[in-house]
Amino acid sequence: MSLIKKTIGITASVALAVTALAVAPAQAAGKTLVVDTTFNLKTLDPGREFEPTGNMIDRAIYSTLMTFKGDDGSTPVPDLALSYTASSDSKVYTYKLRKNAVFSDGTKVTSKDVVFSLMRLKNLKGNPASLMDGIVATAPDAYTVVLTSEKANTAIPVIVCSPSLGILNSKLAAKEGAVSAAGADASDKAEIFLNTTSAGSGQYTLTKFSLTTEVVITANPKYWGPKPTYSKIVFRNVLPNVQRLNVQKGVSHIAADLSPTQASGMKNVNVVGGVGTTVWFLFTNANPKVSTVTSNTDFQEAVRYGVNYDEIVKFAGTGAIQAAGVIPSAFQGSLKKADAIKRNVTKAKAALAKSTYKGEDIPLTYWGGGAWDGILFDDLAQKVAAQLKEVGINVKLTPTPIGDALTSYRDGSEQMGLWFWGPDWPDSSNYSENFGPGSKVGLRMGWAAGSNPTVEKIVNDVAAESNAAKRAALYRNFQLELNKNSPLMPLLQSPSVLVAAKSVKGMLSNPIWKINLTELK
Amino acid sequence: MKISISKGSPWRQPLAIVGISVLLFWIILAIFAPLISPFDPLAQDSDALLNPNHLHWLGTDSVGRDILSRIIYGARISLPLAILLVFLSIIVGSIIGGLAGYFGGWVDSVLMRFADIVLAFPGIILAMAVSAALGPQLRNAVLAVVLVAWPTYARLVRSLILSSKDSDYVTASRLLGSSTRRTLLVDLRPNISGSVLVLGALEAGNGLLLLSGLSFLGLGAQPPSAEWGAMVSAGANNFEKWWIGIFPGIAILTAVLAFNFIGDTLRDALDPRTAKALRN
């Protein structure tokens, strides 16, 4: 009996030891990071993606010419390009590529891939195409890329860091239907492929993609740089309150969308605060074809002075501030608190009386069930609606799933919209180029070119101005004019807070991709 | 149909008394909401996320609205809609079931196969699909629930018609020259209405749950409406603040239980055997 017991004991010990030996290295090599975030995602095709969650994921899948480190968003550091030079007139930028970079299938990254990717982005004419406005990419040799801009463009060094300018494996992508030539918007068929299998040279490759539940990326074994700490990252679509619970329970490692209020009082976690660059705004569509009411400037004024900005900031919680203008407070030329729009009920009511509004319901479209920086769209929209009701405007809340809401926003068909804007590149030019009449967001608000010559002149002047102080003054004038005569009402600037389990080291909040996932320890 | 409340009547059973009392409680709250409610249910005048306190007995929600006032006003939405749902489902189900049972043949086959198709889907999934297709609003959610609920009534009515249409009194009525419409409405209807009413009372709770479920999913009542399901949904977004979701949840629970108790009682009262057993 004793012999049998001994035999069983020894066998069990050996089995346990063998199992431990087998499992231990696998665990070390198979470290998984679970990131909870509320998906604002339409695609992972870099030529088409322009959403915050897309930026966060594509940054890990696709290398770009240059990139940013940690929480910085202003000093480009080498990625695929080792260095660049700029011409004195800020029109020609020459990038020298590194020679050791390879895609996830082992193919070398050359200037041909860069030109293919950037020209595809431009010719797809999708949302991020504006990043390549007036810019042409050429390749004088296999490891040199030249970007030539029609007009002086000092933002190019930071623009090339955008994940939308991720470099595709041109041979593989072309085989799967990607087109970079003019007409790509009609002939390119690679989006489905790029939402199934990535074709980049970043630290990770795409393993699983779902717009509504989760995205999984796995470490790229062929990555040419330092190996990432985590061999797999799982992004899960989760509302902020559940993110908070999950990270506390240890079910996830990072909660990306908590407000400072939600993050306060959490134990055994690291809380990283970043400079908030997300600006929330309200607009009334200026296109009379969309609405004869909201396009009326008196109605716009009634909304502008009807919103209770102080209440909204109070509602948004610790760390939130009123957006004095559309440019976030950390950027050049941002407005001071004193310049912000202030509620004036009398003025709002007087403007409403002068307008064409007759008491009808005005639909306010927003991302139903959505949240960003811990702020729920549903709650913010209800706040705005109740405040406008006080001045006599009946707002019909129209919560809409993110895909449909983005479509109606982007095609300019929303009578009133509640949205936020995070910078595509960390420079005030991102705002002057996108919020004027006839520009990207301008058109989404139905604000056609020619609607406000003062703003349009400032936009043109600032693009040509290279003196920093003069640029700052122009940006201020741009926003002051927007605050007076535009369909746009900047509401608040939300703080960025990341919460991570203690095991996650080196996490920083980045203004473009929110989390420096590829640098985590 | 005669309902007796004499001694030993099912209406004197404890569950019946609880059900009626709770339903009366909600009806009174709904009718007198403007007088009873301490605050405007849509006013965001208070601080957000306040714990239950002496001023706000059930606390405030994420935009500073009084939860008690919203629950009281919510009764004005949820209860009439539960009754409306049942009413519409009974009408649609009775017409379809009546025609199928009375005419039989291909009419019966077509209508009942259609009912089978509807029943083959899980109720909430079909209601979600219909509601999402029509657009998320309360009216469409009601239509969606009716679309899901009518086959139950149709089947019951059909079976009741089938068992009575060849009865002597129906045959006699026909021989006296009654039209189909008269036979259905005057001769057959009184004999099936009791059973349909029982089913309706039992299903009112289910209808309320389904409607609240759709609102919870964002497919029914839209903000800032004080509908109970939508309020539970707001609670789910702030579940560390337990009071936001739990009180409207209790409201739904009590209303559904009340409907179920009343349905059970109605069934007992209209079933002579049960009624007799209770009396003895």
Q: What is the CATH number of the domain that holds A154?
A: 3.40.190.10
Q: What are phi and psi of A191, to 5 degrees?
A: -60, -45
For residue B223, the chain A residue with the least C-alpha distance is: A397
- Asked, for residue A6, whether it belongs to a domain, the answer is no
CATH number at A306 reads 3.10.105.10
Clarify whether residues A203 and A285 are in a common domain: no
Place of tokens 């003062």: A454
Query: What is the reported pLDDT for B272?
Result: 65
Of B48, B223, B240, the CB nearest to A241: B240
Shortest alpha-carbon distance between residue A379 and chain B (Å): 6
Mean pLDDT throughout B20-46? 94
Clarify whether residues A368 and A477 are in a common domain: yes
Which tens digit of pLDDT belongs to each residue from A8-55? Answer: 454 444 444 444 444 333 333 569 999 999 999 999 999 999 999 999
Asked if B168 reaches chain A (Cβ–Cβ under 8 Å), the answer is no
Q: Which of B237, B238, B241 is the best mutation test for A, with the most CBs of A within 10 A?
A: B237
How are beta strands A254-258 and A32-37 bridged, if at all?
parallel
Domain boundary among A222, A237, A252: A237
Measure the CA–CA gap between A206 and A62, rounded to whole angstroms.
Answer: 10
Clarify whether residues A305 and A446 are in a common domain: yes
pLDDT at A342 over 90: yes
User: Are residues B62 and A379, on separate chains, in Cβ contact within 8 Å?
Assistant: yes
Measure the CA–CA gap between A325 and A336, rounded to whole angstroms.
Answer: 8
Angle between helices B67-103 and B242-270 (to 10 degrees): 40
Q: Which of A258, A382, A408, A499 is the best mutation test for B, with the most CBs of B within 10 A?
A: A382
For residue A370, the chain B residue with the least C-alpha distance is: B237
Clarify whether residues A191 and A319 are in a common domain: no
Clarify whether residues A175 and A93 are in a common domain: yes
The one-letter code for the residue type at A291 is S
Domain boundary among A237, A262, A291: A237
Shortest alpha-carbon distance between residue A397 and chain B (Å): 7
Query: What is the reported pLDDT for A16?
Result: 44
Clarify whether residues A163 and A291 are in a common domain: no
User: Are residues A376 and B136, on separate chains, in Cβ contact within 8 Å?
Assistant: no
- Asked, for residue A11, whether it belongs to a domain, the answer is no
pLDDT at A295 over 80: yes
Of B62, B218, B224, the CB nearest to A368: B218
What is the total count of domains within chain A?
A: 2
Mean pLDDT throughout A217-240? 94
- Asked, for residue A468, whether it belongs to a domain, the answer is yes
Clarify whether residues A192 and A339 are in a common domain: no
Angle of CA points A118, A76, A35, to nearest 5° = 85
pLDDT at B48 over 50: yes
Beta bridge partners, A348, equal: none
Measure the CA–CA gap between B108 and B154, rounded to whole angstroms.
Answer: 11
Asked if A266 reaches chain B (Cβ–Cβ under 8 Å), the answer is no
Which tens digit of pLDDT belongs to each residue from B125-134? Answer: 999 999 888 8
Measure the CA–CA gap between A196 and A216, rounded to whole angstroms.
Answer: 11
Shortest alpha-carbon distance between residue A50 and chain B (Å): 26
Give domain B10-279's CATH number out of 3.40.960.10, 1.10.3720.10, 3.10.620.30, 3.40.50.1580.
1.10.3720.10
Domain boundary among A178, A208, A237: A237
Q: Which of B39, B40, B44 is the best mutation test for A, with the most CBs of A within 10 A?
A: B44
Q: Which domain holds residue A423?
A: 274-495
Clarify whether residues A193 and A330 are in a common domain: no
- Asked, for residue A267, whether it belongs to a domain, the answer is no
Report residue B172 CA to chain centroid gap. Answer: 37
Query: What is the reported pLDDT for A235?
Result: 97
Asked if B43 reaches chain A (Cβ–Cβ under 8 Å), the answer is yes
How is chain B split into domains, by residue range? 10-279
- Asked, for residue A510, whether it belongs to a domain, the answer is no
Q: What is the ipTM of this complex?
A: 0.80
3-state secondary structure of A322: strand
Asked if B52 reaches chain A (Cβ–Cβ under 8 Å), the answer is no
Clarify whether residues A218 and A360 are in a common domain: no
**Does pTM surpass 0.90?**
no
